[in-house]
Structure 1
């Protein structure tokens, strides 16, 4: 039982240890630049012991020592650990009179410490890595001048540590430049941390070196948690062997990248399916450096696949049952299978066809009877056969195998899912049943849905769902990565008149032209969205100053304020713009900042329209000024003649006026007037 006081770990312990170990000073030979300081300290203060001590996780290790033979001691008994925690000069004039150290084994035993003075050694970021200390076996008092001199000597050691820290950073930067992994630090930051898929840099032993927020979301762990773990620890045990085998192939040079669907065990104990892609980064001499991994959450897709798989298995079970019942009657079997929209065949253990249904005639253009006795390789062709061969061999070994997204050379525009079921007789595989289901339409629908779900059907701009995703990412980046952004909420002034006077088709054309103009005046990486009706939102990253936001708002007003050519009609409208900014380091709710921008837009309308206004900050900051853009010279809207002012059916649906995101209803053709 420890009777002495053990120094607690500082709050930044993990970061401090990573920096200390990266300097590569621990367990290295003595160096004159450090030994010179300890000799001077011992001589100047007439102390029998002087040390440059580096505090590791479980020990303190002496980079330089005068007066002792040991090179390290346990951290629990370390005086220097107290300096690391406090960050200040620590002087203990008589350890026997100090309750923290009176029973310390370094006091009661060799070297029988009675006096200690230690100055923390800091990094460029202020992390305490160790101390310069002097020790005596007799109690003593250290004068103010002596304390100052000891601090000056410690500053010499600090400069050496900081130089080595900067030299290490310089080497890392040069190495990154030499590998040409990234065009710039900002591009890497954007790609790595804002990508909608999980991403990680993993060392050769499997430890996570760097992770992005999406991976933390997928696994439920914090970034610090993952950096203390390996991918092996969070991989489901049943999936680990396949992953490690592919890692071995990468390291051995048998492949450059690999992809794998596997499961991670989340922090809450649940399982999540991911589509993992891994590449091995090597240096200019071909030596492995680390892995780059990208993970996409495919749990929803797996659930859908399970439903389809159950259906497929049920279909296969029924086919096999019927096949087993009708093996004595080839004609009956042919009749049944010929009427199923599935490629069905039976092959022997040498992979030669015994039976094919009529679907083979439609796909391969051959008489099914002519295929009997021919090999699968010959029928499929080398390219298709090479893709299917591993699964065929597994099935011949007795395993039921399903192969996704098979493409046959005879029908390159169609996608199949093939299932290989072993035929067993007296426990031995004597052949295979092969069933291929056409999944082309479902694959195309899946791809189309993914692209359409984020688009507004009228303008082609990103829609409300896309804004919600990107706004949440921008808010997180502003808080965690000091990345500011500005939100512009736009509503068209006078749009209702155009819509009522010229009809909804003209109104739709006007909305499309507004969308095109907004895209022309914004940057490629800015997000222009249409929420509903005549409401548009612009998300601009990297901008938060009022001057920059004002210029953008003026560009919007000028662009929208120019006359629109709408077939035979020429119309003039304006735009009221509300601006809400999110400075670096801010923590806000996405709905709140959107609501602020919406209220500011209403204020711009009240101040005269075709202008902009900054939102009042949510925490009570003063209300900023409003601005009205100068008028744009353009023709007034041409009023339709009396014959065109016929009554039109009005949409009676009410559109809510709250600032929250409103769903876009394509069937509702009315728009709000401001």
Structure 2
């Protein structure tokens, strides 16, 4: 008896099988129906749905066999893990692999075996749909085809189990368990120039990209066996865990912090970590998505500057009594530092300034001595900074990270005020201020990217919820009505399946462009998930107006789409929710009602639209004369 070879993708295959949470579960009629059909159709005594675990094969469904599992070493199905279409053994006694197998020489006395591999969406073989006979036999081509069809049905049933695992690698599910395209997400996830990870609620890495492996020095397999606390420097862990708790309890939506990882070789790497919590449609936490950027070089530079600044502070403190004699030396040192350095007395008047004041304020540094901070900064900025000055004069070292010395300029500065303590009295404070514009811009760019759909460039689900929340609040204050149009593309899956994901992606991009052209400039066109879009239109208060917008949407999407190498036709089903009284509105309820109306339009024949909430409004399909639709709506209302 020969032992089945272990597939090259064994680790990933077993990880997926465990993640399905299907092993050792009770009988399921959906699977039992398939094995009964297979046994009856091929007139065999045994039919099985076999899942091959690390050391065993376990039967999710079985006909004609009492045991629920056998050793993997004895399993015919283990030999099908590397088979493309079918493992066919017409007479086991004539096959060297199985002739002396105890399942052949003993009960259940297998002589004939046919197994169709069961593949996941990623192409990983989890087991087989197999039929077994106690006597040799052959299968016709039509019988093999029928067995393949039944195996595909098993795969679709398993896909419902697999969806939960895929959901930990994508940003969210749509309402009908249709996952965002795994391959599209994988491309974005893997090729990004920053480290990315999906982390479960216990802190364990679920998925990581190659950049994170490069940053931490661990392989992907090694990281997947670890939690983020295990690679975080202990001194940085408490703050990270506190921010995680804030996410879970809804005190914040995202967080960012700078922290240290301990690499596999023991060295330390500084990273800029941004984390968001993904919740399901009921608001329950699912998992975290983390973006990690190596900032070691910047931290080294900051440490150098910080050490140098600290050294300078010590020098200033130690030589306060000799300041007059040392002014020339001090001026030379500070003039050559790329930061704003000054000293003011307890009356908030300058006693010392370096040359950077000339660049920032356009004045000679020496001319500022004896002048008040208010004269130089202006009344508005002085009042903004006054609380920090008062805290410094009270003996506290303070920092303010959003100083704009000139309102018309976009430069942003971070200012630190260090008390000048002589004996037991605060004689004034030192000012050390550096330009942090580039850092702030980088933070703003990251925030902007988090609000956009990476494929179409449209606002994403998070941006839509914020816009909708603003519309609700505006409606409560100003009684401004608005409407939501929930779109689901008709025929998109056919385009995706027929021409591939590249064509599907190109189609989604073109749909976004057409929608932006057909609606008003201030309307918000967002991509919710997959082939679902939502349009938020403010100031629209009548069913007639909504129907005209919906008609325009349907018309523009029924025109042929010319994609690279192919022209395709689709349509759309539209659900409409009107909000004329925002005092009773909920963002989630509005989206849910528009979603329900869209599915009603889809059930009524597609390529049309339906209104939510008011059951008296009946909107006909787009097959009706569009000129008559407003009249019909008005009559229905």
Q: Identify the TM-score tier after normalising by the shorter chain.
A: 0.3 to 0.5
Q: TM-score, normalised by structure 1?
A: 0.45
Q: TM-score, normalised by structure 2?
A: 0.47
